[in-house]
Amino acid sequence: MEKKTLEIEVAGKNIIFETGELAKQAGGSTLVKLGGTVVLAVATVSEEPREDIDFLPLVVDYEEKLYAAGKIPGGFYKREGRPTESEILKSRLIDRPLRPLFPEFFYNDVQVIVTVLSQDKENPADILGLNGASLAVSLSNAPFEGPIGAVRIGKIGDKFIINPTFEEIENGEMDIVVAGTEDNIIMVEAGAKEVPEDVIVDALEVAHEEIRKIARKIKEFASMYGKEKMEVTPLEIEESMVEEARKELEPKIEEILSKAKDKKEREALLDELKEEFVGKFIPEDEENNELEKKLKYIFKKVLKKYVRRRVFEKKIRVDGRGPKDVRPLYIKVGFLPYAHGSGLFTRGQTQVLSVTTLGGVGEGQLIEGLEEEFTKRYMHYYNFPPFSVGEVKPLRAPSRREIGHGALAERALLPVLPPEDEFPYTIRVVSEVLESNGSTSMASVCGSTLSLMDAGVPIKRPVSGIAMGLIKEEDGFVVLTDIQGMEDALGDMDFKVAGTKNGVTALQMDMKIKGIDTDILRVALSQAREARMYILGEMLKVIDKPRDSVSPYAPRVIVMDITPEKIKDVIGPQGKFIKKIIEETGAKIDIEPTGILYITAPDMESGNKAKKMVEELTKDVEVGRVYLGKVLSVRDFGLIVELTPSKDGLLHVSQMPASTAKNPRLWPKVGEEIVVKVQRVDELGRITLTQKGLFPEKEKNTHNRRGKWRK
C-alpha cells in the first residue's frame, strides 16, 4: 500500500498520521507527528483465539527510546532495559480506553506497541500514542468497536488549553487526559490543584468536542484504508436455557446476598451454587468442556443481571447498603512506634497501612527519561500482597496495577505537600494493602494523609478519596458510592476521586461499557464529594492537624545559605573537608549550586556540630585581624599558615620578627601554632600575613618553643 496521510487540526495544531510506509507486515501501523515529536503505533492480532480464557488478552507496551531525545542511557549498560515507571503508566493509559471497545467473546491475542521515535521539548508523546494506537487498531483486522480520540486538557487562569505544552502543563491548574468515542467519554486520568468539580466537568465537555472530531476523522480514514475485520464467534446459548437458569438461580442468589455480608462467605456460597448448577447438567464422572463453559457463562450472566436489577429497582446493594452509603470506617494513627509516621485506614473489608519515612533532600529519586532529568522529592509506593485477598501466590516485582495505583495516590497528595524551602525533607510513603474488597487505591490516599500528618509533614489540607461505580440501564442509571469488589466486576464504571474540601486533586475513570456522557459524570462527582467530606470528617476526628514536630526518630535537617563561591571551601581538596564533617558528625551534606546547603543529621546535637564546622569553613578572613594559626609547611621564602580549615596564607620571611627571620633554625616547625595578622587579601583570594607590630621591639629575639612569639 502506498503511503496515506491523515491530517487533523486540534486546537490550532496539526496532528499528522501516516500509514503504508513503515511496519507493513503488522496488522495496522501509523506514524504520528506533532511538531518535532514522532510516535510509531503498531497493532497486531493473532490468527487464532486463545483457549480456556474468558477475557481479552490485550497487551499494550509504550516504549521511550532515549535516542528520541538525543540521549545515551546512563549506567554501565547502554541499552534500554525493562520498562520504566513512566512507560508502564503510559502503557496503562493507552490500554484502558481501548479494552472496552473489543467485542465480547473475542479472545485473540492483541498486541499494541507504541514507540517514541522523536521527542521535542514542547509536545508530550503520550497523546500521540493514544490516538496512534486507536488508528493502528482500527486499520488492523481486529474487530474493534471504536475508534477513540484523545486529548490532554489543562487550565491556566480562566482559559482551558487543549494539548498543552510541557511548560503549560507545569504552570497549569490541572492535567487531564480524556479519551472517548464520538458519543461518549471512556477514560479520564487527571491531576489537579484542588479544582472544583464543576470546573472538571466543564473541562471534560470542552475536551470531548475535540475528541469527537478526532474519532470521526480516524473512523473515516480507517474505513477507506483498513483491513477486513475478523469474525467473532459467540457462544451459542439458547435463550430458553438462560430463562430456565434465571428462574432457578435468582431465588438462591437473593438468599445468599441477604444472608452473607462477608466477602469470603458470599464468594464461597456463590461458587458452591455455581458448581451445583453446572453439576445438574454434567455428572462428576463426565467431561464436557464446551457445555461447562456455556453453563458458567449463563451463571455469570444471570448473577450479573440480578445484582444490577436489585440495585437499579430496589436500591439494595450486594452487602445491603444503599447507593450512597459508605462502609464502616476504622482509623488509627501512630500504629508503628519506630516509623516516622503511620496511618491505618479500614473501610469495610478494605484495609491499608500507610507508612511515612523522612530523609534528606539528597535522598530523592533521580528520574531520567526523554524529558529533562529531575529529582522526585515525594514518592508513594503501593503493595498488593496475595494474602490481602486470601490467595497464595509467589511474591514478584511490582505489577503494572501496583505501579498505577501507587502513582494515582501519589498524584492525589502532591498539591498539598509543603514546598521544599518550608519542609526540607524527601518524603517516602509506602501503602501496604492488608485486606482488599474494592477501592484500595483510594484507601491508600486516606492512609497516606493520615501517615503524613502523623509524621509531622505540614500538608496544606488533608486529602480523602472514594471509588464510585455505576449501573447503567436503557431507562436510567444509578451511581454507587464506595464500590466493593463484586460491584466493580459486575458494574459499568470504576471512577476514583480524591481531593480536599476545596476541590479535586486526582481522578481516574475506567469504563466496562462504551462510555458515558458528562451528565452522569456530574452526578458521580457530586456524590463522590459528599462521601469524601464524610470520610474526611471521620479522619479529622482521629488527627485534626499535622503533628507540631517530626518524629524523634526522624532525621533533623538544618538549612544554611552560603555564597556559591564558598562551596569549594566546604568541599575542600578532593572532598577533604566535607568528608571530615560526615565522618565526625554522621550527618549528610547536600549543596545546591545556588549555595543552599542542607545538613541532614540523626539528631540536633550532630546537626549543630556539623553546622559549626561549616561555619568555620566558610568564615571570611578579615584584614587586620589577629589569628592563632597552624604552620602547614616551611618554605625557603617563609611559612604557609592555616587560619581556618579552608583558609591559609603566606607569612613571608620579610614579615617575621627581624631576629627570627635571619635564623631559619628558629622558625616554627610544621604543626606548631603561631600568632599572625592578616595584612592583605588580593582579588584571587590569596592571603598575605605579617607578624610586624605584634611584639615589642625589645622582645623581638624571644622565641617560644611551642612556635609562638610572645612577650
pLDDT confidence of residue 710 = 38
Assess whether pLDDT exceeds 80 at residue 668.
yes
Q: What residues contact 196, with CB distance under 8 A and at least 6 apart?
A: 502, 503, 504
Assess whether pLDDT exceeds 80 at residue 647.
yes
Share of the chain above pLDDT 90, in %: 74
Residue among 503, 430, 433, 508 at smallest CA distance from 468: 508
Beta strands in 50-128 (DSSP E): 58-64, 108-118
Shared fold status for 329-542 and 556-618? no
The pLDDT of 638-644, averaged and rounded, is 87
Per-residue pLDDT tens for 240-274?
888 999 999 999 999 999 988 889 999 999 999 99
pLDDT confidence of residue 682 = 86
Question: Directed axis angle between helix 197-225 and helix 125-139, to 10°?
Answer: 40
Assess whether pLDDT exceeds 60 at residue 528.
yes
Assess whether pLDDT exceeds 70 at residue 697.
no
The pLDDT of 214-234, averaged and rounded, is 95
- Range 88-110 burial, b when 16+ CB lie within 10 A, else e: bbbbbbbbbbbbbbbeeebbbeb
pTM comes to: 0.89
Instruction: State the cell numbers at 243.
Output: 430463562
The CATH classification number of 4-225 equals 3.30.230.70
Residue among 649, 640, 643, 690 at smallest CA distance from 670: 640
Share of the chain above pLDDT 70, in %: 97
Assess whether pLDDT exceeds 90 at residue 130.
yes
pLDDT confidence of residue 699 = 44
pLDDT confidence of residue 707 = 45
DSSP state of 516: B
The pLDDT of 301-322, averaged and rounded, is 93
Q: List Cα–Cα distances, 478 to 325, 474, 491, 646, in angstroms.
A: 13, 12, 10, 72
pLDDT, mean over the chain = 92
The pLDDT of 184-190, averaged and rounded, is 96
pLDDT confidence of residue 377 = 95
Assess whether pLDDT exceeds 90 at residue 436.
yes
Name the pLDDT band for 54 (thresholds 50, 70, 90): confident
The pLDDT of 378-383, averaged and rounded, is 98
Q: List Cα–Cα distances, 30 to 88, 226, 311, 317, 645, in angstroms.
A: 21, 11, 44, 45, 64
Assess whether pLDDT exceeds 50 at residue 57.
yes
Least confident of 86-95, 129-138, 525-534, 690-699: 690-699
Task: Locate the domains of the chain by residue range.
Answer: 4-225, 239-276+288-314, 329-542, 556-618, 626-699
The CATH classification number of 329-542 equals 3.30.230.70
Name the pLDDT band for 290 (thresholds 50, 70, 90): confident
pLDDT confidence of residue 447 = 98
The pLDDT of 334-361, averaged and rounded, is 96
CATH class of 626-699: mainly beta
| Residue with more model confidence, 519 or 646 | 519
Assess whether pLDDT exceeds 50 at residue 587.
yes
pLDDT confidence of residue 696 = 60
Asked if residues 39 and 115 have their Cβ atoms less than 8 Å apart, the reply is yes
Bridge partners (DSSP) listed for residue 507: 190, 497
pLDDT confidence of residue 698 = 33
The CATH classification number of 556-618 equals 3.30.1370.10
